[in-house]
Amino acid sequence: MSAGLAVNEETHFRDNLAIRLTDCRIRARDAIRSYRLHGDVVRVFHDVGIIILEPLRIASYLFGHLDGMNDTGTLCEVAPELPTEDRAFVTAIGRLVDQLRTLWCTRGKWESYNALVDVGAVGFRLFDEFGVHARPQPDGQAYINVPFTADTMPAGSAQVDLLRALMGGYRS
């Protein structure tokens, strides 16, 4: 809806998306490595979330703008427009844009906010892809699991843990 009011914003959106996508996987791994030391699942969910969800937000602005500026009614393909080779983001942003276009086409006909659930699911799939798994619990809380992988372990921590185990466990 705002595309006609912000006709010169495309370059800004593209540049902002490129910046947000730069080194996302490295920054997310660093946040998970930090989690291995601080152990706060809420913090790692937040830290990784900022890194991986911000490109989705900016992509929604870019593709909403491109769709709004398009006079022909033909919607652009998402993948060629993305400044990344990271397949997780190409897939996630493609899904997001599909969901947002569906919402736009059905605006005024939503019976509830449940129509937005699929948009949120795109973000949760990306969390899974990046190694932070959040699952709803019956009590309304979430269980957050961050599986160990070689590339998300702090340097030297495996050796320290092995030494501690050999010496009879952890000491305070």
Domain boundaries, the chain: 3-147
Nearest to 13 by CA among 68, 50, 51: 68
Contact yes or no for 126/56 (Cβ under 8 A): yes
Q: Average pLDDT of the chain? A: 85
Percent of the chain with pLDDT over 90: 51
Which segments of 55-136 are extended strands (E)? Answer: 133-136
Higher-confidence residue of 52 and 149: namely: 52
Distance CA 115, CA 120 (A): 10
Higher-confidence residue of 112 and 133: namely: 133
Sign of CA dihedral 148, 150, 152, 153: positive
Mean pLDDT for 75-101 is: 89
pLDDT on residue 164: 47
Distance CA 22, CA 24 (A): 6
pLDDT on residue 69: 82
Distance CA 11, CA 17 (A): 10
pLDDT on residue 73: 63
Q: pLDDT per residue over 96-129, tens digit each?
A: 999 999 998 898 898 888 878 889 999 999 999 9
Query: pTM of this prediction?
Result: 0.81
Helix pair 41-69, 117-129: axis angle to 10 deg: 120
